[in-house]
Structure 1
């Protein structure tokens, strides 16, 4: 393929153009080279696509022999670092366990456990965390898990760089949760005995009241059809979804009202 430049002569007549040793015109050789280049470009593109798929697969499916992302030594070191910070004595293991459940419920979707949430964010992260914590939970390991429930995949950075801030924020959340529980208990104790008897005597009225509350959350009235409920749910989910800057509390109320009405 190709031609010898020494055989070239500047004739305008196509018939007088130089030929290769096989008798083919130079233009035929050029066309063959271009076709070969096109084939090479297609092959390079195919290999690049396979490489990209391999990279995505590597991130999505961790190797069975890949090292754990979190070790028991790291969990122990993080717990020991937090135990040296101001405010550590205020934290309670029971409150930390409740805080983890609360943060999970406030996330989306609310039915996921901490392990499932972390595994969704980074494949295998939640599994490695639970394996590093072990079957017996202590105050230190509960605080580490609460940090991951609060900060997600960035928890390791905060635990390494600023454990004092982690303890401070956990204390604040524990105090807020305790206040809400106290207020709920007070509201419950304010109900008189006659209130409880009235509720017990009229279960159907109570059920209707709950349905009306759920419909009000979706902006509907009694008698709304299932299709109207679904349309209202879709509209409010788009408005309140945390991924678009909505309120997690409002999103959870909408989801709970929808589930209650469709049950």
Structure 2
């Protein structure tokens, strides 16, 4: 039976259980030189900062169509409280110059020049398929809930692996669906976000990582339950949010299945997602 998620106090700040789980999976080292690539801002640079030598944060949020300056305001992937419902066990020296931006290989007009980035709030703006860093610059590269939103995921993976040194680690954390599950679950995701790219199966995600040139070292797949309302706060419009709310409530009352396995917890409507943490090493 799932139990309520409780925050864990660490280095003066509360760390949510799902983030703590990811940090334990990452196994950061004091000698690690890290790169976090995200859609907008995220919690990883600040969480990793006290545990590694250096962190560089990249905001690779694609520019919306119609914008010419290549810029947009950052966004945060908010999970809200979660319950970890079930676990499935499945099968570091660098110099300062290593993490300084190299000349970008492809730069469009008006894009921001690279800047030093990290948990101090400074963030590099860059194309996730053309990162402005030298080959093998980082011992640890992370991408949390962003792989499918930064461009073609196969191109993004190849670029993340390019900047990850031999013997380093690439950590991908993202939504997945079971290998036998159909794509129906994506219907409510697309109601909330019409640009939702689809949820990959576990097999598809790992296949893409290996095809990009990496070896899978560890895999952590688990189910979480989330309250609906914080998630719906990011819906495209109120009408879409209400349609999702009605579909989930109908399922609780015995109606058609949505694939989200909703239920009432403490008087609130919750739903489920499957998350995966993948640790890979460049070949």
TM range (shorter): under 0.3
> Which structure: greater helix fraction?
1
Higher relative contact order (CA 8 A, sep 6+): 2
Structure with the greater alpha carbon radius of gyration: 1
TM-score by length of 2: 0.19
Q: Which has the higher strand share?
A: 2
